[in-house]
C-alpha cells in the first residue's frame, strides 16, 4: 500500500445485548477472525482474548493486529444491558456496515458506530504536544 492510498479510518462501535455473546475467549477470537475476513483485511498477529473478573468490570477483552492496524473488543457481562465496545482502525478502507450487521446478527439490541478520519489534516482542534498545550 502506497502512502497516498492510506485512509486512516477509525470506527468505534457500541452494542447492547440482553446477554453478551462474548463470554468465552475462543468465541471472541473466532468472531474477530471472521470480521477480519469479512472486511477484507489480513492478520498480522492473531486474535487474543482474556477475562477480567474485577468487580464492576467483569467481562472479556480481545484484540487482533491487522496489517493495516488493529481491532479491539471489550464486553461487559454484568451491566444491564450487557455492553460491547468494538474499535476498528485501518489505513485501508472497509465497509463498517458489515460489522454493524454482524453485531445485529448476534442479537445486538442497540447497535451503532461513529467514524473518524484520523489523517493529519483532520487534527485541527486536537490538543497537540508540539503546541505547548500538554
Range of the domain at 18: 7-123
Q: Would residue 78 count as lying in a domain?
A: yes
Q: Would residue 84 count as lying in a domain?
A: yes
Q: Is the pLDDT reported for residue 44 higher than 70?
A: yes
Q: Which residues contact 75 (CB under 8 A, 6 or more apart)?
A: 20, 22, 23, 28, 59, 60, 61, 82, 83, 84, 85
Number of domains in the chain: 1
Q: Would residue 128 count as lying in a domain?
A: no
Q: Would residue 134 count as lying in a domain?
A: no
Q: Is the pLDDT reported for residue 128 higher than 60?
A: yes
Count other C-beta atoms under 10 Å from residue 37's C-beta: 11
Q: 3-state secondary structure string, 28-63? A: HHHHHHHHHHHCCCCEEEEEEEEEECCCCCCEEEEE
User: Which of 15, 87, 27, 19 shows the shortest CA–CA distance to 51?
Assistant: 27
Mean pLDDT of 28-54: 98
What is the pLDDT at residue 134?
45
Q: Would residue 13 count as lying in a domain?
A: yes
Q: Would residue 129 count as lying in a domain?
A: no
What value does the mean pLDDT of the chain take?
Answer: 92
CATH number of the domain at 104, please: 3.60.90.10
| Percent of the chain's residues with pLDDT above 70 | 92
pLDDT, tens digit, for every residue of 13-24?
Answer: 999 999 999 999
Q: How many CA atoms lie within 13 A of 109 on its CB side?
A: 9
Count other C-beta atoms under 10 Å from residue 126's C-beta: 10
Q: Would residue 133 count as lying in a domain?
A: no
Q: Would residue 36 count as lying in a domain?
A: yes
Amino acid at each position: 500500500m502506497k502512502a497516498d492510498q492510506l485512509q486512516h479510518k477509525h470506527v468505534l462501535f457500541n452494542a447492547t445485548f440482553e446477554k453478551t455473546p462474548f463470554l468465552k475467549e475462543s468465541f471472541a477470537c473466532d468472531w474477530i477472525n471472521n470480521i477480519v475476513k469479512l472486511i477484507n483485511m489480513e492478520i498480522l498477529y492473531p486474535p487474543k482474548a482474556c477475562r477480567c473478573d474485577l468487580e464492576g468490570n467483569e467481562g472479556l477483552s480481545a484484540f487482533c493486529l491487522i496489517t493495516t492496524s488493529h481491532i479491539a473488543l471489550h464486553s461487559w457481562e454484568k451491566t444491564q444491558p450487557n455492553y460491547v465496545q468494538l474499535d476498528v482502525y485501518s489505513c485501508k478502507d472497509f465497509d463498517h456496515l458489515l460489522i454493524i450487521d454482524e453485531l445485529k446478527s448476534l442479537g445486538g439490541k442497540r447497535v451503532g458506530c461513529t467514524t473518524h478520519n484520523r489523517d493529519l489534516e483532520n487534527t485541527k482542534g486536537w490538543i497537540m504536544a508540539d503546541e505547548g498545550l500538554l
